[in-house]
A and B are shown apart, each in its own frame.
Chain A
Amino acid sequence: MLHPPNDVILEILERLEWRDIIACRQTCHRLKSIIEASVLLQYRIELAACGMLDGERGPHTLPVHERLERLKLYQEAWLNLTWTENNDLAHLLGRNYSDNVTTGVALGFPSRLDSTLLLQTVPSFLRGIDEDHKIFDGPTRTLVRLDLSQDLWISMNIPLHDPFDVTYYLKSISTGDAHPLAHDEGRMRPFRRAAAVDYCGNYVLQSRRADSTSSVFVHNWKTGIVESEKREYWSIGTEEYRSRNGWFLDENYILLDIFTSDATGPRPFQSSSAGCLVIVPISPSDTRSYRFFLPEFFQDLTHWAHRIISRCTGGLAQGCFYADHADRLLSLRPSLRASGSSDPQFVIDIPVRTFRAYIQSHPGDAGAPVIVPWEEWGPRGTRITLETATGSARAPRTSVHGMRRLSVRADGTSGTVTVLDYHPRRVARALARGDAKVVHGGSVGNVVTLLPCIETMVPLPEGPARSLAAGRMLAVWLCENGVLFVESLMRSRTVTNAWVYSI
């Protein structure tokens, strides 16, 4: 019998994925003790159990034992959420605030007094990230997307005299100049009338609506080549529905929303067969298409004026660890057209893996769209929450990061922060240990959903609670670093207060 020395066993184990390491742990006492004594292997297992990936990039490279310690603290912190640290982000004050916050970075847009763009890194003790900020000149009007792992930011300029003549700029975060890898000196002229843009890895997506079709183009921003072009046209019953927006669902699929919104303003849903999410593969040779229908009550509400799809942007954070960007949550929140209505607000949370699992088990045919009724995918793979707005009927503020959704609710003079965590491994662990409150599904009317999640509720910290009570606009962002609260003026969106609370 051969007995390789422990060091050799370790060399082999270190080259395995966590699933195999777990299986090896069950082979014999010796391997079990080797695995339990190795910090690196314990770190890998802990990462997997936490549903995290290791961030190898970035300047804050910590040793493995330190990462393991911080990872454990981090998980603990999410389960017993308390506000431990408070930093004021003074640089944000006075700037115009954007709803576009990428992992760990807040953006301050040019205001009347200042024509520069601010990239504010949100500090965190747990991740070993210090406060940092960068200020850039340049045309940055409405949209900025960031990818820290590729040192890329995409900004957009819309000239006043021709709103269809949009230009995108691909720049390097570290220098502020054109990104060295970008095609055509970092300038990208989209097709005229491009309505939306999204970003994923090497690709930039543009969608536009023309006549009765909607087209989605996927560019490679490094080569400038259009790698895929998808057209969708459909009419259901007597109504015509067109997609207006497209997003990357993950590296393989595009998500289109079918709800219409045309020149005369948002159009209400009138057909009971409307209201589905369309998912198409990115690959140009793959002509399949899936239509995931939403529950009937969602479609029947004639005054749901327009939808807000909150979605994790998937930017990878610098530092020691981050959530898996393929494991994300799609959070659908229809918002009321008329403010002050007492109708209930609800949110449908859909992990992207729900779609992936369905598509994998139902390959479908080329050409003909696969119709997926709500009953087939929704009840088991989603969760509907009722978010009753009280008092002034202000819509709950929510943000999504990875598999977590965070919402803030005004509650008389105070407020509550609720964190819902859908990651299946974290939920399984919480169930096994019984150290967190796991809720099994939710319902609206007779629509019942079963997807479990970990629910954590804490009162708002003092500062944000005061601004909420004073009727200010309070945006809340879940960063991996903690939670960022931004108080701003309702009309001008000028930031009047900004706090970051590390958890």
Chain B
Amino acid sequence: MPTIVSVDDSTVPGEGSSRLLLLVSSDNKHIVVEEDIMSRSRFISKQVEGFEATSQRHAILLPFSSFVLNKVIEYCSHYRGYYLLEDDPDAAPPGRSPVREWDQEFLDVDRNMLLRIIKAAHYLEIKSLVGSCARAIADMIRGKTTEEMREILGVENDFTPEEEHSPSSKCTG
């Protein structure tokens, strides 16, 4: 059951831009973060718009752990106030995400963590983070055998032996 926490606007200090949000992770950790930081997330922005329409602020429940959430918040804090083309809903869809050095270091984690971050970023609709994670995973996959790819992507081989050797699943080149 979602916990509705009513936040009175008057209790938030300062200008409107630095209002606080309460995020609740799947392991039931409550994390308070400035709204400004999370504005990169389309999902959060839409929630905030909803709050403004109903004048009711409540906690936002997220379907991933606090460990992953903190990582995403770290990313958003780093790029606070930066303009990233991929996150601009009005910009033309970029072909490929640019290489950002900080992202590479930030995403130097094991593949399970990487998959968790990309899922969270996708849920939160942070396109730049999805792009950077996808690039990191693609770099892992590149040049690997089919078996190694299954391992990295965490998928099971559900082909029957006949299907696996059928010409339709093989490349003609």
Q: Which residues of A line the B interface, CB within 8 A?
A: 1-5, 7-9, 11-17, 19-20, 22-32, 45, 48-49, 424-425, 428-429, 432-433
Contacts and interface: CB of A to CB of B under 8 A. Distances in A.
A24 B172 contact: no
Given A23-B149, A26-B164, A30-B155, A8 B173 contact: no
Interface residues of B, number: 35
Interface string B128-155: 0011001101100111111001100111
Contact of B141 (A8, A16, A26): A16
A328 to B, nearest CB: 18
Given A27-B150, A32-B169, A429-B173, A16 B158 contact: no
Residue among B118, B119, B135, B171 with the highest chain A CB neighbour number at 10 A = B171
B173 A49 contact: yes
Contacts of B71: none
A57 B167 CA distance: 35
Contacts of A4: 115, 118-119, 122, 153
B148 to A, nearest CB: 9
A20 B141 contact: yes
Main secondary structure of the interface of A (DSSP, over half): helix
A34 to B, nearest CB: 11
B138 A15 contact: yes
A22 B156 contact: no
B112 A17 contact: no
B82 interface: no
B83 interface: no
A299 B72 CA distance: 71
Given A12-B138, A15-B134, A20-B143, A2 B172 contact: no
Contacts of B149: 20, 23-24, 27
B159 interface: yes
A429 B158 CA distance: 27
A433 B167 CA distance: 11
Contacts of B134: 8, 11-12, 14-15
B119 A5 contact: yes
B154 A2 contact: yes
B163 to A, nearest CB: 9
B172 A26 contact: no
B137 to A, nearest CB: 5
A27 B146 contact: yes
Given A15-B96, A24-B141, A26-B146, A31 B153 contact: yes
A428 B142 contact: no
B31 to A, nearest CB: 22
20 contacts: A2-B115, A2-B116, A4-B118, A8-B130, A11-B131, A12-B118, A12-B134, A12-B138, A15-B96, A15-B135, A17-B142, A19-B171, A20-B141, A26-B146, A26-B164, A27-B146, A27-B153, A49-B172, A425-B173, A433-B172
A16 B138 contact: yes
Contact of B159 (A16, A26, A424): A26
B157 interface: yes
A5 B158 CA distance: 18
Nearest to B163: A29
